[in-house]
Amino acid sequence: MAQRVRFTKEVIELFEALAPDTDEVLAEIGQMSDAELEQELAPVKGELEAFLKKVHEKFGKKDYPPISRGTSVMTTQPNMALRKEWTDEGWAKRKWGVHGKVTTHHDSHGLCYDVQHEDGTEGCYDPSELKVVD
């Protein structure tokens, strides 16, 4: 989970109902590096993914996202128009011309996908940077 967890408006509202100090929690998360955040979330990654799946089932569109989890993809080439959307650390984790599987998607700042590469590393990609393979 190299990129930050992105919450949709509905998830934030639900989270705020459960934890009134959401602003403080999000501010603390904002100060963490990707590695620190990944380490902090590692013990609860499964529960977090299950929670986000339930939220998506409740609030998400039935045919969304266009590329579903587990889909085999190949990375194509970087969309340089979107370079500012990634941190330097996140950008460095992306690889080109490699196969992988979609592990999750994010859509709070535009749709993007986390892809686990065949070598086990992970990067985050805009849909324009992926090709679905059979």
pLDDT, tens only, 92-119: 999 999 999 999 998 877 889 999 999 9
The class (CATH top level) of 72-132 is mainly beta
The model scores a pTM over 0.75: no
pLDDT, tens only, 32-81: 777 787 787 777 777 777 777 777 676 665 566 789 889 999 999 999 99
What is the structure's pLDDT at 110?
Answer: 82
Rounded distance between C-alpha atoms, residue 63 and residue 60, angstroms: 9
Rounded distance between C-alpha atoms, residue 129 and residue 134, angstroms: 17
What is the structure's pLDDT at 51?
Answer: 76
Domain ranges within the chain, ordered by starting residue: 9-59, 72-132
